[in-house]
């Protein structure tokens, strides 16, 4: 079988070396850059049997139809909304992801963002670097006794709830999957989305991107939040209507926001509307370049899971196959 990474692999080289030792893999092809368009994606896939790609490369119906030998797609991520996995299934193509590999990294990072906002750490750092030392400017808020609302309770959401209890936070959860049942000592109440937004001092998004979660948080939902609350998005960018969020922050409807994702990635603030530019530059807004799940530890877990997924597929094992 021919295995192709159609753009720069996120998984480290050492794991590709492991794949080379799999007897069923006859050839591995990697590229040093990202494809510039769909035509290049199709060219790179060529006669490949199995492929992998970054989350910024969309595998749509046209690409699938133009790849006659394609049998399986391996995500180097938890998310797979960039792949038309339903159509892939209709063509007999299996899609594998790496669920939960970075759950702890994302959860810990979420609290880095929260404490940074509550204690005004970015502004304080900028103040010191510019020569200041006026600590009275940076009176912040403590977390103990506050309420955190977690939207979604998968690998990331459940880890966030555990960490929350250590801070002395009350934990509310709303489930994006209505069929899911949880029983956890780390959750005080499972509530509706509206009640969570009304009661929470901190709202954290930890849901996948689906047709049901697209713009889950928009103008109406933000309008339910406390003026003293913050919104933290470590899930997917279009779960939040960023224009509605920008307006709410500019007009002081909520206290602040921390975003590890933006409308398009890579993101360049200069290419977007005045509202988005103003939002990103507000002192009560933190934006990071999709790094919540990136840690040395999670990279090891990802690499091992990625290799195991390929072995599973070749052995007929459907563990982590998302389009059964």
Which residues are catalytic, by number? 236, 265, 290
Distance CA 229, CA 75 (A): 35
Distance CA 80, CA 77 (A): 7
Distance CA 298, CA 304 (A): 10
- Are the CB atoms for 289 and 85 separated by under 8 Å? no
Q: How far is CA 284 from the centre of its chain?
A: 21
Residue with tokens 């977007």: 272
Helix (H) or strand (E) holding 274: helix 274-280
Q: Interior CA angle at 309 toward 99 and 318, to 5°?
A: 85
Distance CA 101, CA 53 (A): 17
Handedness of CA 79, 83, 87, 93 (dihedral sign): negative
């Amino acid at each position: 079988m021919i295995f192709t990474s159609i753009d720069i692999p996120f998984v480290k080289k050492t794991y590709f070396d492991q794949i080379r030792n799999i007897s069923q893999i006859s050839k591995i092809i990697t590229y040093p850059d990202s494809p510039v368009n769909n035509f290049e994606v199709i060219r790179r896939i060529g006669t490949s049997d199995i492929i992998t790609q970054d989350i910024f490369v969309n595998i749509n119906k046209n690409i699938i139809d133009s790849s006659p030998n394609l049998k399986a797609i391996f995500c180097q991520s938890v998310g797979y909304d960039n792949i038309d996995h339903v159509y892939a299934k209709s063509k007999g193509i299996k899609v594998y992801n790496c669920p939960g590999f970075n759950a702890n990294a994302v959860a810990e990072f979420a609290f880095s963002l929260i404490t940074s906002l509550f204690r005004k750490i970015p502004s304080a750092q900028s103040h010191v670097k510019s020569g200041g030392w006026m600590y009275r400017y940076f009176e912040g808020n403590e977390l103990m006794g506050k309420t955190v609302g977690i939207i979604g309770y998968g690998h990331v959401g459940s880890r966030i709830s555990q960490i929350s209890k250590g801070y002395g936070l009350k934990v509310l959860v709303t489930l994006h999957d209505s069929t899911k049942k949880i029983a956890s000592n780390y959750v005080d109440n499972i509530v509706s989305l509206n009640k969570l937004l009304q009661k929470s001092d901190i709202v954290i998004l930890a849901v996948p991107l689906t047709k049901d979660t697209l713009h889950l948080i928009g103008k109406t939902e933000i309008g339910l939040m406390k003026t003293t609350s913050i919104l933290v998005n470590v899930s997917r960018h279009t779960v939040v209507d960023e224009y509605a969020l920008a307006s709410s922050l500019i007009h002081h409807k909520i206290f602040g926001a921390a975003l590890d994702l933006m409308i398009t990635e890579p993101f360049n603030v200069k290419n977007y509307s005045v509202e988005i530019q103003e939002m990103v530059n507000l002192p009560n807004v933190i934006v990071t370049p999709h790094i919540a799940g990136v840690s040395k530890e999670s990279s090891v877990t990802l690499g091992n899971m990625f290799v195991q997924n390929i072995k599973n597929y070749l052995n007929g094992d459907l563990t982590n196959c998302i389009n059964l």
